[in-house]
Amino acid sequence: MRGRGVGGGRGNVCRFIYTFTRLFIYLFFIIMEDKSKIVLHTCCAVCGAYLCELLKNQFSEVLIYFYNPNIYPREEYEKRLASAKKLAEIYKMEFVEGEYDNENWLEKVKGLENEPEGGKRCLVCFAMRLEKSAQLAKERGFEYFTTTLAVSPYKDEKLTDEIGETIAKENNLKFLKSVELNQEKKEIWNKTRELARKMEFYHQKYCGCQFSIYSK
Ligand code: SF4
């Protein structure tokens, strides 16, 4: 009698472990499937390479959005566009090209042509690109958006985070700030440059607009 009791106890323990393991696996997949989707505004493939590496593990879907009407001239735009498309192919991510409405961009920055890089013109330029990225995130039902703009050592990540957060609030979305990547900016820049070299991306010599060509 005692022997059967011990056997029955072992059976219960095994059944408990089996049920618990199945429940754990079930919950694990629910959590994995519940990961959010993000629009990654991409100014160029060089700045986007390491972010793709980081975001692919954090989000269930990353959409690369190339909306950069600031880039001048058109030939330069095409070079950066080609590299951004290649980046999306490498990481098997969806790629969306925004409109190259350079005339509209010029209209928006009118009067700020002589501002230095990092000045008021850049704030308008960042906001314009991030607003469109938020719009796309909303249209596609994505919860998050972010940008590669903060990766470059020439850009102030506090500014892009501030603008991104404001736009996110207005659109009931979340903006992934550069501080949330939990890595030093210098480290991100070094890693992205290394990846970009390996992937042979086009590396531009100036920020993007005609006013930035001779500003360095
Ligand atoms: S310098 Fe760069 S960020 Fe500033 S306005 Fe020109 S393209 Fe935009």
Average pLDDT over residues 52-66: 97
What CA–CA distance (Å, rounded) separates 38 from 109? 28
Say how many Å lie between the CA of residue 117 and the centre of ligand 1.
Answer: 6
Residue 112 is predicted with a pLDDT of 98
Q: Are residues 190 and 123 in the same domain?
A: yes
CATH of the domain at 140: 3.40.50.620
On whether the CB atoms of residues 125 and 22 are closer than 8 A, the answer is no
Say how many Å lie between the CA of residue 175 and the centre of ligand 1.
Answer: 21
* Structure confidence by residue, pLDDT tens digits, 64-107: 999 999 999 999 999 999 999 999 999 999 999 999 999 999 99
* Cis? peptide before 73, omega within 30° of 0: yes
Residue 197 is predicted with a pLDDT of 98
Residue nearest (by alpha carbon) to ligand 1 atom 5: 122
Average pLDDT over residues 106-110: 98
Residue 35 is predicted with a pLDDT of 80
CB proximity list for 190: less than 8 A, separation 6 or greater:
none
Q: Are residues 95 and 170 in the same domain?
A: yes
Ligand 1 lined by 211 (C-beta under 6 Å): yes
What is the phi/psi pair of residue 66, to 5°? -100, 90
Domain count, the chain: 2
Ligand 1 lined by 117 (C-beta under 6 Å): yes
Ligand 1 lined by 44 (C-beta under 6 Å): no
Please provide the average confidence, as pLDDT, over all residues in the chain.
91
Q: Are residues 47 and 7 in the same domain?
A: no
Q: Are residues 85 and 120 in the same domain?
A: yes
Residue 2 is predicted with a pLDDT of 46
- Helix 74-91 crosses helix 45-58 at what angle (to 10 degrees)? 30
Domain that holds residue 193: 36-212
* Structure confidence by residue, pLDDT tens digits, 121-154: 999 999 999 999 999 999 999 999 999 999 999 9
Residue 18 is predicted with a pLDDT of 73
Provide the percentage of residues in the chain whose pLDDT is more than 70: 89
Residue 25 is predicted with a pLDDT of 60
150: its two tokens: 């903060």
Residue 1 is predicted with a pLDDT of 44
Q: Are residues 81 and 169 in the same domain?
A: yes
Ligand 1 lined by 122 (C-beta under 6 Å): yes
Q: Is the pLDDT of residue 34 over 60?
A: no
Number of H helices, E strands in the chain: 7, 5
Average pLDDT over residues 190-207: 97
Residue 24 is predicted with a pLDDT of 65
What CA–CA distance (Å, rounded) separates 170 from 193? 34
Comparing 16 with 65, the larger pLDDT belongs to 65
Which residue type sits at 106?
L
Q: Are residues 47 and 96 in the same domain?
A: yes
Q: Are residues 111 and 19 in the same domain?
A: no
| E strand or H helix that includes residue 158 | helix 157-171
Band the pLDDT of 189: cuts 50, 70, 90: very high
Q: Is the pLDDT of residue 27 over 90?
A: no
Residue 182 is predicted with a pLDDT of 87
158: its two tokens: 């506090």
Q: Are residues 93 and 134 in the same domain?
A: yes
Q: Are residues 2 and 79 in the same domain?
A: no
Q: Is the pLDDT of residue 109 over 90?
A: yes
Ligand 1 lined by 149 (C-beta under 6 Å): no
Give the DSSP letter string of 7-30.
HHHHHHHHHHHHHHHHHHHHHHHH
CB proximity list for 161: less than 8 A, separation 6 or greater:
150, 175, 177, 178, 179
Strands (E), the chain: 37-41, 61-66, 94-97, 144-147, 174-175
Say how many Å lie between the CA of residue 20 and the centre of ligand 1.
Answer: 55
Q: Are residues 55 and 96 in the same domain?
A: yes
Q: Are residues 16 and 110 in the same domain?
A: no
Q: Are residues 49 and 7 in the same domain?
A: no
Residue 134 is predicted with a pLDDT of 98
